[in-house]
Structure 1
Amino acid sequence: MKTHLTGKEIIEKVGFVYQLHISPKKIGFNEVIYTVYLKKGEVKKGAYEGGKPDATFSFKDEDFVNIATGKMNHQIAFMRGALKMKGSFSATQKFTADIFPKPSKM
């Protein structure tokens, strides 16, 4: 994912900082935090240290995979309670499967 998200096209298209809280079973428990910094094209494990991210997303790992692979729309996931969002509306609207690498066919 780091290789894909450092591309100039993604940085120009999105240009936001996302903080992802991914939990194995239930949102908010035993979560791992990642910062996806699409202003510079960086992905790192840990909370965003440059102030406040443009948007924060919390979900279970299986729901993250479904959103990232395009099997579930992030707006539908939000309405079903599978995704919690905070932050800029425009930043949340650009958080789509298009920013993630396409799954390889094995």
Structure 2
Amino acid sequence: MSDDLKVPGFKASELISRVSETFSGLSDTDKAAQIKKVNGVFQLQVTNEAKEVANWTIDLKKTGTVYKGEAKPKADVTIILSDDTLTDLASGKLNGQKAFMTGKLKTKGNMMLATKLDGVLKVQPKAKL
């Protein structure tokens, strides 16, 4: 499943695959709790060093799934950032608020929902808490 999320030339592909696998591994109860907590659709518009653009969608409004491509129907928030910025956010090297303030991350749509991206990238099954 996660192989169809990979886009050659993007480090974020690995990260997106891990997020997808984590969501797939959640129990129905945990997935429902995540959907209730986040209640939004994120579209990640990522640009790599070669200036190529890839889009991934994280649906935490209805299905609790991750897929490659633009959000269908429409994302609640589109987050525009570089491949490096996304991997730094996920690893904790960079704070989302700092990335936004320095122009490394831009948003279209519900900016308050964008603040939940850090938590979405770090979702783990309850057993690990």
- TM-score, scaled relative to structure 2: 0.68
2:65 matched to 1:42? yes
Larger of the two Rg values belongs to structure: 2
- 1-side partners of 2:112 and 2:82: how far apart? 23
Instruction: Tell me how far apart the structure 2 counterparts of residues 66 and 11 of structure 1 sit (CA, whole Å).
Output: 24
RMSD over equivalenced CA pairs, Å: 1.8
CA distance in 2, matches of 1:5, 1:81: 29
Q: How far apart are 1:65 and its partner, in Å?
A: 0.7
> Offset of 1:86 from its aligned partner?
1.1
Q: Which aligned runs of 4 or more in structure 1 are off by greater than 3 angstroms?
A: none
1:93 aligns with 2:119: no
Deviation at 1:10, TM superposition (A): 2.3
Give identity over the alignment, percent: 33
Structure having the higher helix fraction is 2
Report if aligned partners of 1:4, 1:101 keep a CA contact under 8 Å in 2: no
2:21 maps to which residue?
A: 3
User: Is it true that 1:21 corresponds to 2:45 in the alignment?
Assistant: yes
Aligned residues: 98
Question: Does the 8 Å CA contact 1:4/1:100 hold for their aligned counterparts?
Answer: no
TM-score, normalised via structure 1 length: 0.81
Separation of aligned partners in 2, 1:69 and 1:13: 22
Unaligned runs of 5+ in 1: none
Tell me, in whole angstroms, the C-alpha distance in 2 between the residues paired with 1:15 and 1:71.
26
Offset at residue 101 of structure 1 (A): 3.8
